[in-house]
Amino acid sequence: MQFPNSEAEITLHQRILAGDPVAPADLFAHFVEPLMSALRHDLRCDSENARDSSIDALFDYLRSPTAYNPNRGRLCTFLTQIAKHKVVDRIRSRSAEVRREQEFSSFVEVRESAPNEKMERSVEAGKLWGKIEQVVENEQDRLALALILDGERSTEALAEALGIEATTALERQRAVKRHRDRLMKILERLGEKLRDE
């Protein structure tokens, strides 16, 4: 579906300025689908974002139609610009939301996996953890070991447990690997010792 031609656009704009009660419905009928197509094509955004941003753009225009000046360009261009801003705003807002959720879930994962919450569920596990505590004195190492034993593979979670503050993701990944290898060696040695006993 394409945008109406410039004559039809001007007529519609004049009807909106004149307070025609049906003009807003006509605006939606002629502009929502071409706007959605333009947004999906130009910004590669998802359908939901394209739909909601198109609708918001039309309501913005209808709230203050005098903001559009026909001498400066086509109504479809004006509306597409507003809609594109709306898409970007939505993406930014969603990214911030996802970031907040990830931060929260990493925190929760670390808390839930704390040694005394998981390892002491059985007497045997408790005894084994006691042995680990004897050889691993550092609290951060203990927390990281508990996470590893609990099956945690996330670099982020381990980095946080180990207190690694690397500037880049690659550095963080390398540091976590280095610590993980060190802790696994400690476990190996402990395993050999327990076997000998």
Nearer to other proteins, 54 or 113 (CB): 54
Q: How far is the CB of 53 from other proteins (least distance, A)?
A: 11
CA atoms of 8 and 18, how far apart (whole Å): 15
CA atoms of 176 and 34, how far apart (whole Å): 49
Nearer to other proteins, 22 or 170 (CB): 22
Q: How far is the CB of 29 from other proteins (least distance, A)?
A: 8
**Total residues belonging to the chain:** 197
CA atoms of 58 and 1, how far apart (whole Å): 17
Q: Which residues from 8-27 bind other proteins, rule CB under 8 A?
A: 19-25
Q: How far is the CB of 83 from other proteins (least distance, A)?
A: 13
Q: State the burial class of residue 100 (Cβ atoms within 10 Å of its Cβ: 0-12, 13-18, 19+).
A: exposed
Nearer to other proteins, 24 or 131 (CB): 24
Q: How far is the CB of 58 from other proteins (least distance, A)?
A: 8
Instruction: Please report whether residue 32 would count as binding other proteins according to CB under 8 A.
Output: yes
Q: How far is the CB of 93 from other proteins (least distance, A)?
A: 17
Instruction: Please report whether residue 103 would count as binding other proteins according to CB under 8 A.
Output: no
- Mark 35-74 with x for binding to other proteins (rule: CB under 8 A) and - for no binding: -x--------------xx-xxx-xx--xx-----------
**Rama region for 45: left / alpha / beta (φ>0; ψ in -120 to 50; rest):** beta
Nearer to other proteins, 48 or 124 (CB): 48
CB 145 within 8 A of CB 183: yes
CA atoms of 69 and 73, how far apart (whole Å): 7
CB 70 within 8 A of CB 10: yes
Nearer to other proteins, 43 or 190 (CB): 43
SS3 percent helix, strand, coil of the chain, rounded to 5, is 80, 0, 20
* Contact set with other proteins (CB under 8 A): 19-25, 28, 32-33, 36, 51-52, 54-56, 58-59, 62-63
